[in-house]
Amino acid sequence: MCVKHRNLTWTLALLFLSGALCIEMKVKYQLGHICAVKGSSVVIPCSYDYPKEHKVKEVLWGHDKYNIYDGPFLFNSTMKNTTSRFQYIGDKEHNCSFLIHQVENNDKGKYAFRFITNKDKCTGIYGSTLKVVDLKVSLAKLSGSRSFKEGDSVNMTCTNSCDGGHRSSIFTWLKNGEPIHKGPVLYLSNISSTNNGNYTCSLKTQRATPSEVINIDVEYGPKNTSVSIVVDGSSYFKLICTSNANPPVENYTWFKIDENDQFNRGSDTSL
């Protein structure tokens, strides 16, 4: 019993020294859990309070992958770092809100605020936990085949899992980086080679949140087949066959009609 009591005493002493118990001081996180799309900017709202006779000297934000009491810290008001993605948008009075620009997957986890006054220090140990997700694109084709054929109809749906599947986000669809449509669903009917390109969706208000890329490369049979004549000197000429298709035509077959109206077959692109 004495050993347990002694250990408890030492633990409480360490907590008081680190400001973990925040006696007469407190940190409040308005959101315990926050979800953000990769590439977006997100705010962690926060407020703090302390006795009137205290004066705030230092404010810090930490992450649970480090020591939230001793750091290293993502933000420290005593350090000058204007290039960081992490920005303190609070003050040294009662607002401790924190902004993260261009959220990355490894930004997930718990964030905690710590402040130091002329009399004490306090860390809001409960923090706000950030979840980072990617926008997802689901694709449906009426033909059911894996490739894109001329005349197919394609349905692409953009989903933000932070919405819980309710599609409350407003999306922009882009083709080769250029906006072409607004809304969660992009429908392409009777597709042709003009629809070829890379398609992505992003949050309408934050273009730096692209989804995975859907590449559409429409396959179609030979079109505009033609024969041209190239004269080689005065005694020879060459016939060249060309055609537009996807995938490109690899083999051509030539037909010659003789005096008896019989077909003779040959191959290659020229004759």
pLDDT digit string (tens) for 177-189?
999 999 999 999 9
Query: How far apart (Å, rounded) are the C-alpha atoms in residues 177 and 83?
Result: 26
Report the pLDDT value the prediction gives residue 252, as an integer from 0 to 100.
Answer: 81
Both tokens of residue 81?
A: 């770092």
Secondary structure letter of residue 35 according to DSSP: E
Report the pLDDT value the prediction gives residue 229, as an integer from 0 to 100.
Answer: 83
User: Among 44, 162, 39, 34, which residue's Cα sits nearest to residue 103?
Assistant: 39
Strands 178-182 and 148-149: unpaired
User: Among 72, 74, 89, 94, which residue's Cα sits nearest to residue 27?
Assistant: 94
Q: Which of 2-6, 150-154, 247-251, 254-258 has the highest mean pLDDT?
A: 150-154
256 by Cβ neighbours in 10 Å (0-12 / 13-18 / 19+) ranks as exposed
Report the pLDDT value the prediction gives residue 8, as an integer from 0 to 100.
Answer: 38
Q: Which amino acid is at 61?
A: W
Strands 33-37 and 128-133: parallel
Query: How far apart (Å, rounded) are the C-alpha atoms in residues 38 and 194?
Result: 31
